Structure 1
Amino acid sequence: MPTAQEVLDACHRAADDHPADPTPWVVILGVLRRLRCSQREVFWAWNEVLRRDRWHRQAHLQMLGYLSPAECGSHMEMMDFIETAQARMPATAPINGLGLTAATRQYVRNLDMGGPSALMAKDQWRQPAGASALQRSLDWHRDPARPRHAATFADLNVLALALVAAQRTGEASDVFAARRGVVTPWPWNALGDPLMAYERESRRALR
């Protein structure tokens, strides 16, 4: 296994060879996040990505994790990041599910904590922040005029689980149908084996 420094060195060489490609900078961003580096270092890599691809999906997800209170940020920093992105993103941006992803990550963390946190986890979908993120994502996917992107099925998996968790089974059934059987490991692995969890929840919703 290469060390973090070896990965960073390789990425810098790739960035020099292909200056217009955001991919090396996205990997650098991910390594700096894993190392829990300072915000100065992380935002330096983030800005390099933005110079090449303003709406890079993976880079936004990396920053969402880094700025979360579970890692190196705070709830306020994470929400500011989401709100800024949502206010500026064009209709074609592949990050329309950013807010729901953050809410679902919190839901999964609460489940993992067990005890009262797990029992109360579903309540977050009735609170303003969770309900707003869920409704925004649902409205986005219901709009036939919205262009779809390559990761649409990944977003639909997150939306389906959130609707199930919120006990909105009628709306979940439409999302399950739109997914055409494509299952992503996350977030279903929060409920056990991803395929078994998906099949169980989709049967309940489609019943």
Structure 2
Amino acid sequence: MARLRAFLPTPRLRGVSRRPAAGALAGAFAGSPAGEEVLLDAPDDRLAPALVAAAHGAHGPAAALLAGTRDRADWDHRDRYVSRLAAFARSRPEWLRSWHAAAPDDPDGRLVAVRLAVDRCWESPDRAGLLREIAPMVADTAERGGDDPVPWRVALDSARGRGAGHAEFERLWAEAVRRCPHHYGCHVAALAYLAAASPGAHRECLDFAETAARDAPEGSPLRELPLRAAFRCLTEGGAGAVEPARLETAADLALALSAAQPAADPWPAELRNLLVYVLVRLERWSDALEQLRLTGPYATSFPWDREADDALGRFLQVREGVRAAVADRTPAAGCGGRGSPAGPGAH
């Protein structure tokens, strides 16, 4: 699957629903974190010390963290850490400036700086023009990145923002997957490009996501990609364009991926938050309740910031709505996980 032209309809993936038993649901929220204990976008144990040091102007821990991901070829963690460090540098850039001054050719510091530059351009009304201005810097960082696919993920995001044509995007995509065929971030970028290039092409986006998930190793984050495509279908008016069973299967694949991750852990929190969103839209209340139990005190801005300025507040609102929906249905329906017409996400 080395080129975008490989995004063709494929056999549908099959998943296994993992709905908890009704008895387990009764105590699913016993001892669950109170609203004031829930954390938004909490870093994991490796990223947290780097952010604390950066807050004090020191770049050393961030440099060591990213160098470790590069040495281990831990590209999925590297991608997320680069994005989080760049987001921190938007308001606290001193540590990144000192890093660049001390080691201007450091590939990790340069990658964070390029990610930051692209993100800042995205916030501007003149996004396309600004991204064209920094395109040489983005391309240079990618070309000098060796086997690292993350600079190519940044290049893919930049190309989408400046409206690059299909041929250019295919070239960047080929470079990215040559380095890491199953890199999650690059596939997320490609899915976003496909959705932007062909508005309303929800079936094609789901085809691409299913292909990537089918070809990925067991336990790969790419098993989540159909959930991303399902989210787009549900939030962009495309649910009627695809078979409902495909949305259900996307959720089932993500349920299996979530089940293999530790509970109450920051790393799978975004997967579980997105999964809760989709399960609520599919009115699978008991499944959503179980994911809320697993995510524990960890809320993430995405996807809740897509429908509310207060992402944490929206997460807590949905959490209460899911609990109420399950409680209302348990005595009569045995927590079958379907069909509450007025629950959260019905808007």
User: 1:24 offset after TM fit, Å?
Assistant: 2.0
Give the secondary structure class of the aligned counterpart of 2:302: helix
User: In 1, Cα distance between the equivalents of 2:314 and 2:268?
Assistant: 20
Aligned match of 1:152 in 259, 262, 268?
Answer: 268
**What are the superposed Cα offsets for residues 90-126 of structure 1, whole Å, 9 maximum, x if unpaired?**
024222111111111222224xxxxxx9xxx7x8998
**What are the superposed Cα offsets for residues 183-204 of structure 1, whole Å, 9 maximum, x if unpaired?**
1112112342211111011123
User: In 2, Cα distance between the equivalents of 1:168 and 1:159?
Assistant: 11
Higher relative contact order, chain-length normalized (CA < 8 Å, sep 6+) = 2
User: 1:89 offset after TM fit, Å?
Assistant: 0.1
1:137 matched residue in structure 2: 254
1:20 matched residue in structure 2: 147
Query: Contact 2:203–2:242 (CA<8 Å) still a contact in 1?
Result: no
Matched, 1:67 2:184: no
What residue identity is the alignment partner of 1:169?
Answer: W
Query: Contact 2:209–2:225 (CA<8 Å) still a contact in 1?
Result: yes
Residues 166 and 77 (structure 1), Cα distance of their counterparts in 2 relative to 1, 3 Å cut: closer
Summarize the alignment of residues 1-207 of structure 1 with structure 2, pairs less than 5 Å apart.
3-68=130-195, 71-73=196-198, 74-110=201-237, 127-142=244-259, 144=260, 151-192=267-308, 193-207=310-324
* Backbone CA RMSD of aligned residues: 2.8
165-174 vs 58-67, which moves further: 165-174
User: In 2, Cα distance between the equivalents of 1:6 and 1:20?
Assistant: 25
* TM-score normalised by L of structure 2: 0.50
2:38 matched residue in structure 1: none
What residue identity is the alignment partner of 1:53?
Answer: C
User: 1:147 offset after TM fit, Å?
Assistant: 8.7
2:18 matched residue in structure 1: none
**Is the radius of gyration larger for structure 1 or structure 2?**
2
Query: Contact 1:125–1:134 (CA<8 Å) still a contact in 2?
Result: no
User: 1:179 offset after TM fit, Å?
Assistant: 0.7
User: In 2, Cα distance between the equivalents of 1:125 and 1:203?
Assistant: 30
* Unpaired segments ≥5 residues, structure 2: 1-119, 122-129, 325-347
User: In 2, Cα distance between the equivalents of 1:109 and 1:77?
Assistant: 14
What residue identity is the alignment partner of 2:281?
Answer: A
9-18 vs 99-108, which moves further: 9-18
User: In 2, Cα distance between the equivalents of 1:65 and 1:75?
Assistant: 11
| Greater per-residue helix proportion | 1
What residue identity is the alignment partner of 2:156?
Answer: L
1:114 matched residue in structure 2: none
What residue identity is the alignment partner of 2:288?
Answer: A
User: In 2, Cα distance between the equivalents of 1:158 and 1:47?
Assistant: 28
User: 1:167 offset after TM fit, Å?
Assistant: 2.0
Residues 88 and 202 (structure 1), Cα distance of their counterparts in 2 relative to 1, 3 Å cut: same
User: In 1, Cα distance between the equivalents of 2:249 and 2:285?
Assistant: 17
User: 1:76 offset after TM fit, Å?
Assistant: 4.3
What residue identity is the alignment partner of 2:269?
Answer: F
* Count of residue pairs brought into register by the alignment: 193
* TM-score normalised by L of structure 1: 0.80
User: 1:26 offset after TM fit, Å?
Assistant: 1.3
Residues 177 and 124 (structure 1), Cα distance of their counterparts in 2 relative to 1, 3 Å cut: farther
What residue identity is the alignment partner of 2:289?
Answer: S
Residues 136 and 20 (structure 1), Cα distance of their counterparts in 2 relative to 1, 3 Å cut: closer
Residues 163 and 139 (structure 1), Cα distance of their counterparts in 2 relative to 1, 3 Å cut: same
What residue identity is the alignment partner of 1:5?
Answer: R
